[in-house]
């Protein structure tokens, strides 16, 4: 990175953070701190919701996913539009009508205090740990490729986000997210244009897409109803609906974003903005990865994109084996490049026979190339079983650093940090609000006035920031924690969604029934987790179905009139 | 995307979309689903054309 890149990078992220602090410095009340002053329009809400969901790892991993597996991952988002319609039509009007600060406060109004506490506790547990990962995951990648000290990168990111989130509360989060998302969209669009411009002169965008198509990278839609297939239209619609409903409808980090709207209309429009644009955005980020893949068919591609790791092994005791793999990979890539040239020439000349022959050769050589890359990963693991043998997260950042012009490298690194800051800010804001509203004011200090609650909210936001930073600092010592956090989220998410679905749609079920159903379901999910060998994502569905089913059964065994017990 | 200084009460605003051509929320939701179907079919067509 050059001085210009550093200027663009720090100018962008510090400029937005400073704006967030200054624009919200007059915010004084507790209500304004938690919900903003409710003058925010749909565009800001839409960008804020989008920025909260898109963490830094989205912009590092998604192009890498496109590079490796093509466009199929986009199907994961197919349930999102319907989920957002349900949230906008059912969840949102109720949250606004009851004037709640948090989603769990609604559980208190609908059921009782203990159910509210249960929902808040489950959220704090999973989101508290996830906030640390949101800071850690991009820091480990950026510090690795730029040779920055990891601890300093984590501390710098963490302290910056804590400063403006604590200072301006919910409004600072929404306002900064508007500009952070703007930087992200501009940066990704420029990267998209540059990868097309950097293709060889004789490779048009149409030709590049044809090459991607030959190599099976444009498989965006899979209609097969095969539950063993990872990404299909059906798993995307049904599984995605379930996950999106739980995330957008019950996760306070999202609920708090759309509750800042100046009216129900603005909040709904903000959600519809995401319902329409999220899938095309993910499609283009994946397509960017696919185009980077095509670009590397004409340029020298590293056999393993975490080059620092690869080089350290290449100069180690297994140097000969690593050099041999690299040479073999380069030879296959050269042969493949020649076959691609033949394919493009035949396609341009309208030579169907030549095109078909070249297509077969390209496909075979791509399979060989993938085999060598798999060998490279196996060699890394053989050399050291603790190494991370996946390089998907390093593909896009390697392209940025090696091929983007000065200034734009800084902008694209700023994109990564903007994404990290925006999603972490939402998480800390939600954690601070939930701790204050659902624990501190509800249990410990029910008589606290607004001034006291405001101080408490700032304190808890800062405290969660400190927890997230500490977790990120120690995450590198316990690498498996990341996996553990993901599993933990899936184990608890389903039960929480089940509680909310009962609250919204089954009016005759009361607090005690749903509380014990949630406790029982959570226990069963944890037992099943240790007994079954299924993907942990399934526990989202199992937890929700169990909670709803048991709540209905328990309520039927304890018949009574429904009521809106106040928390 | 402009932010107005005054919050608007939901009771006045709940039924309004502010869009001349999609005046009810159910029409907006239907339009979103239609856009979704078009996007999926476009991506499929893209895959078939280049596949």
Taking only the tens place, the pLDDT of each residue in A182-199 is 999 999 999 999 999 999
Q: Please tell me whether residues A283 and A140 are part of one structural domain.
A: yes
User: Within an 8 Å CB–CB cutoff, is residue A264 touching chain B?
Assistant: yes
* A221 close to B (CB below 8 A): yes
Instruction: Kindly tell me the burial class for residue A335, based on how many C-beta atoms sit within 10 Å of its own C-beta (0-12, 13-18, 19 or more).
Output: middle
Q: Where is the domain boundary, A445, A462, A477? A: A477
CA gap B9, A287 in Å, rounded? 42
What 3-state class would DSSP assign to A417? helix
The H or E element spanning position B47 is helix B25-50
Domain count, chain A: 2
If one counts every other C-beta atom within 10 angstroms of the C-beta of residue A495, the result is: 29
A342-383 pLDDT, tens digit per residue, is 999 999 888 889 889 999 999 999 999 999 999 988 888 887
Is residue A371 assigned to a domain?
A: yes
Residue A251 sits in the same domain as residue A376: no
Cα maximum dimension of chain B = 52
Same domain as A376, residue A287: no
Nearest CA in chain A to B43: A220
Q: Is the dihedral of CA A532, A534, A539, A541 positive or negative?
A: negative
Domain of A151, CATH number, reads 1.20.1730.10
Q: Is residue A225 part of a domain?
A: yes
Query: What is the SS3 assignment for A433?
Result: helix
The structure tokens listed for A310 are 């690869």
CA A462, A464, A467, A472 dihedral sign is: negative
Q: Do A78 and B13 lie within an 8 Å CB cutoff?
A: no
Do A41 and B4 lie within an 8 Å CB cutoff?
yes
Number of A to B CB contacts under 8 A, please give it.
Answer: 99
Chain A touched by B35 (CB under 8 Å): yes
Please give the radius of gyration of chain B, using alpha carbons only, rounded to the nearest integer. Answer: 17
pLDDT tens, residue by residue, A111-165: 989 999 999 998 998 888 888 888 888 888 888 788 889 899 999 999 999 999 9
Q: Last residue of a domain, which of A363, A390, A417? A: A390
Q: What mean pLDDT is predicted for residues A200-209?
A: 91
- Residue A562 within any structural domain of the chain: no
The pLDDT of residue A477: 55
Q: Burial level of A182, CB count in 10 A (0-12/13-18/19+)?
A: middle
Residue ending a domain, among A357, A390, A423, is A390
Residue that is written with structure tokens 């411009």 in the block: A197
User: How many CB atoms are closer than 10 A to CB A480?
Assistant: 9
Whether A360 is in a domain gets the answer yes
Q: Domain total for chain B?
A: 1
**A208 in the same domain as A164:** yes
Parent domain of A375: 307-390
Domain assignment present for residue A338? The answer is yes
- The reply to whether A136 falls in a domain is yes
B36 in any annotated domain: yes
Q: Specify whether the CB–CB gap between A322 and A310 falls below 8 A.
A: yes
- How far apart CA A126 and CA A105 sit, in angstroms, is 18
Measured distance CA(A51)–CA(A44) in Å, rounded:
10
Beta carbons of A96 and B10 less than 8 Å apart: yes
User: Which pair of structure tokens corresponds to residue A421?
Assistant: 């800051």
Q: Spell out which residues of chain B touch residue A262, defining contact as CB-CB under 8 Å.
A: 3-4, 6-8
In a domain, A346, yes or no: yes
In a domain, A505, yes or no: no
Residue-wise over A2-20: b if at least 16 C-beta within 10 A, else e? eeebeebbeebbeebbebb
B43, A78: Cβ pair inside 8 Å? no
Kindly tell me if the per-residue pLDDT of A269 is higher than 90. yes
CB < 8 Å to B44, chain A: 220-221
By residue range, what is the domain housing residue B32? Answer: 24-51
A98 touching B, CB under 8 A?
no
pLDDT digits (tens, 9 = 90+) for A72-92: 889 988 999 999 999 999 999
């Amino acid at each position: 990175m050059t001085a210009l890149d550093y200027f663009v990078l720090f100018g962008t992220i510090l400029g937005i953070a400073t704006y967030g602090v200054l624009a919200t410095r007059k915010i004084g009340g507790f209500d304004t701190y938690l919900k903003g002053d409710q003058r925010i329009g749909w565009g800001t809400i839409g960008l804020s919701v989008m920025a909260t969901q898109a963490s830094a790892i989205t912009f590092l991993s998604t192009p890498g996913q496109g590079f490796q597996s093509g466009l199929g991952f986009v199907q994961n988002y197919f349930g999102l539009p319907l989920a957002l319609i349900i949230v906008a039509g059912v969840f949102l009007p109720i949250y606004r009508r009851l004037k709640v600060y948090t989603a769990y406060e609604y559980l208190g109004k609908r059921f009782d205090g203990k159910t509210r506490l249960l929902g808040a506790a489950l959220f704090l547990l999973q989101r508290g740990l996830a906030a640390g990962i949101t800071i850690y995951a991009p820091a480990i990648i950026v510090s690795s490729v730029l040779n920055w000290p990891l601890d300093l990168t984590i501390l710098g990111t963490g302290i910056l986000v804590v400063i403006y989130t604590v200072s301006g509360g919910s409004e600072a989060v929404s306002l900064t997210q508007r500009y952070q998302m703007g930087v992200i969209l501009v940066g990704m669009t420029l990267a998209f244009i540059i990868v097309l411009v950097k293709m060889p002169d004789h490779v048009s965008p149409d030709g590049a897409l044809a090459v991607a198509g030959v190599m099976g990278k444009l498989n965006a839609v899979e209609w097969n109803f095969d539950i063993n297939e990872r990404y299909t239209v059906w798993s995307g619609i049904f599984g995605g609906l379930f996950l999106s409903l739980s995330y957008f409808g019950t996760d306070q980090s999202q609920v708090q974003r759309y509750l800042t709207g100046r009216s129900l209309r603005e909040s709904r429009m903000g959600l519809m903005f995401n319902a329409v644009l999220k899938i095309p955005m993910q499609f283009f980020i994946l397509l960017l990865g696919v185009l980077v893949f095509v670009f590397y068919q004409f340029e020298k591609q590293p056999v393993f994109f975490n080059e620092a790791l690869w080089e350290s092994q290449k100069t180690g005791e297994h140097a000969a084996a690593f050099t041999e793999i690299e040479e073999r990979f380069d030879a296959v890539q050269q042969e493949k490049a020649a076959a691609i040239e033949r394919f493009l020439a035949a396609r341009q000349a309208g030579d169907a026979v030549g095109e078909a022959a070249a297509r077969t050769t390209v496909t075979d050589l791509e399979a060989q190339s993938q085999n060598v890359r798999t060998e490279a990963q196996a060699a890394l693991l053989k050399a050291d079983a603790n190494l991370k043998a996946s390089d998907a997260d390093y593909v896009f950042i390697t392209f940025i650093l090696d091929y983007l012009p000065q200034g734009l490298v800084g902008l694209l690194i700023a994109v990564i940090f903007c994404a990290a800051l925006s999603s972490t800010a939402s998480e800390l804001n939600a954690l601070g609000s939930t701790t204050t509203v659902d624990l501190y004011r509800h249990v410990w200090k029910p008589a606290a006035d607004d001034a006291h609650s405001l101080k408490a909210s700032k304190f808890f936001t800062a405290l969660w920031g400190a927890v997230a930073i500490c977790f990120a600092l120690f995450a590198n010592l316990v690498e498996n924690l990341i996996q553990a956090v993901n599993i933990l989220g899936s184990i608890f998410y389903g039960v929480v969604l089940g509680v909310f679905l009962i609250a919204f749609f089954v009016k005759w079920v009361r607090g005690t029934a749903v509380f014990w159903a949630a406790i029982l379901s959570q226990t069963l999910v944890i037992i099943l987790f240790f007994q079954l060998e299924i993907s942990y994502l399934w526990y989202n569905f199992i937890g929700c179905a169990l909670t709803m089913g048991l709540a209905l059964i328990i309520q039927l065994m304890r018949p009574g009139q429904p009521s809106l017990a106040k928390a | 995307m402009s932010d107005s200084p005054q919050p608007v009460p939901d009771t006045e605003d709940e039924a309004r979309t502010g869009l001349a051509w999609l005046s009810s929320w159910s029409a907006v939701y239907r339009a979103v689903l239609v856009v979704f179907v078009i996007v999926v079919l476009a991506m499929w067509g893209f895959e078939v054309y280049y596949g």
